[in-house]
Amino acid sequence: PTLLETFSSRAQTATHPLTAYLLRLMDLKASNLCLSADVSTARELLQLADKVGPSIVVLKTHHDVVSGWDFHPHTGTGARLAQLARKHGFLIFEDRKFGDIGHTVQMQYVGGSARIIDWAHIVNVNMVPGKAAVTALAEAEAKWRERYQYEVKTSVTVGTPRSDTFDEQPEESGWWNTDEEGQNREGVGRKGSIVSVTTLTQHYESATSPRFPRDETKGEDCLYAGIDEPPIERGLLILAQMSSAGNFMNREYTQACVEAAREHRRFVMGFVSQESLNSEPDDHFIHMTPGCQLPPEGEEENGTVAGDGLGQRYNTPQKLIGLCGTDIVIVGRGILKAGDPQSEAERYRTTAWKAYLSRVTK
Ligand code: 5IU
């Protein structure tokens, strides 16, 4: 699409179902803001997500900087974030920057204590090890989804709670149903252990199926009427350009990222980049951009803001969205360090949205 095309029109042509969903959400919430929720405790993270949720369309996490992260698949931090995502209407982006060989990144994506794929709609990959990491993650997601759909189908067929067992688990089931102690607790068991189909479905509904909020208090007039829960598909962003000074991602590298994205259009939603990288007619990628701050309220802006002294460089939403043509700005400390993060998030939302509006009405 050209830089003039609106988000709602791009939602019609997007290749990835989750991108189409996100673009519709952006249009409905009038937001192209992602909060980088870099706080250090799980408690702060959940409080923040609940407060800022109405202003954002994406919540970016680094689960490994959060102390007290609860790995429980039903009631843990990931599951509770997924609940907040349903309540407020945003997608969760775990900024994991996978960067290992294919086999390893598959395990890191679906396994471990964190089981990122269960609660994060979006993850990203560092392409340094080569394109195989993208293929490997795509394969892991396809397998996970097949499994998910199978569970949903089975439970629908069964209909009512079934107390008998589900013990014909294939070898790879250990991927997704082992809790941290490997115990068969609350229906989540070790590979080969006995798990009821119903419990598994409940597990997915609570932890992974990001059902869209139906705010009962608002009924049909709810703010986001007209949009449903997101599709089951997970999405990937390729890290094509960085905001930090002196990074090693040159033009050639960025172009290789674009090629990898084109090879996996059904899984790659787009890029973490500093500019729009859509150049061919079939490119329907979305761009999220970190390194964004606004000058203090009332001060005039000229496109950039001083960096953080550790290599981070900042551009304003006007420059990133309006001139460079990216779609979503990712803001961390600009919002987190404000006296009132909630109203500061609104200031960023309106500024970034204005930049988008002026871009498409040029
Ligand atoms: N981040 C960057 N630059 C990048 C990439 C990721 O800053 O090029 I890729 C992350 C790091 C941090 C957030 O989690 O985005 C930016 O936070 P601040 O807005 O607080 O600088």
At 168-214, the pLDDT tens digits run 333 333 223 333 343 333 333 333 333 333 333 344 444 333 333 34
**Distance from the alpha carbon of residue 333 to the mean position of ligand 1, in angstroms:** 9
CA distance 204 to 73: 9
Say if CB 316 and CB 295 are below 8 A apart: yes
> Over 90: is that where the pLDDT of 241 sits?
yes
Instruction: Give me the mean pLDDT over the 292-307 stretch.
Output: 95
CA distance 129 to 124: 14
DSSP states along 15-44: SSHHHHHHHHHHHHHT--EEEE---SBHHH
Is 38 near ligand 1, meaning CB less than 6 Å away?
A: yes
Judging by DSSP bridges, how do beta strands 58-61 and 33-36 pair with one another?
Answer: parallel
| High-pLDDT (> 90) share of the chain, % | 68
**Distance from the alpha carbon of residue 174 to the mean position of ligand 1, in angstroms:** 33
CA distance 157 to 340: 49
Q: What is the pLDDT of residue 87?
A: 77
What are the percentages of helix, strand and coil residues in the chain, rounded to 5? 40, 15, 45
| The residue to which tokens 């089931």 are assigned | 173
Instruction: Give me the mean pLDDT over the 247-275 stretch.
Output: 97
Instruction: Give me the mean pLDDT over the 313-328 stretch.
Output: 98
* 242 CA closest ligand 1 atom index: 8
CA distance 328 to 286: 8
**Distance from the alpha carbon of residue 48 to the mean position of ligand 1, in angstroms:** 18
Instruction: Give me the mean pLDDT over the 304-327 stretch.
Output: 97
- Region of poorest pLDDT, from 86-90, 166-170, 343-347: 166-170
Structure tokens at 206: 């609570």
> Over 70: is that where the pLDDT of 101 sits?
yes
* 60 CA closest ligand 1 atom index: 14
> Over 90: is that where the pLDDT of 160 sits?
no
**Distance from the alpha carbon of residue 300 to the mean position of ligand 1, in angstroms:** 24
Which helix H or strand E contains 345, and what residues bound it? helix 341-360
Q: What is the pLDDT of residue 146?
A: 83
φ and ψ of 16, to 5 deg: -90, 130
pLDDT in tens, 198-207: 333 344 444 3
Q: Which of 292, 293, 312, 348 should be mutated for ligand 1, with most atoms under 8 A from CB? A: 312
Structure tokens at 47: 């409080």
Q: What is the pLDDT of residue 186?
A: 33
Residue with the nearest Cα to atom 2 of ligand 1?
290
* 62 CA closest ligand 1 atom index: 14
Say if CB 286 and CB 19 are below 8 A apart: yes
Q: Which of the four pLDDT bands, split at 50, 70 and 90, describes residue 240?
A: very high
DSSP states along 272-304: E-SS----STT---EEEE-SB--PSTTS---SE
User: Between 18 and 74, where is the model more confident?
Assistant: 18
Instruction: Quote the strand ranges of 157-308, DSSP E.
Output: 235-239, 268-272, 286-289, 304-305
Instruction: Give me the mean pLDDT over the 89-110 stretch.
Output: 96
Is 312 near ligand 1, meaning CB less than 6 Å away?
A: yes
CA distance 328 to 323: 13
Residue with the nearest Cα to atom 15 of ligand 1?
290
> Over 90: is that where the pLDDT of 84 sits?
no
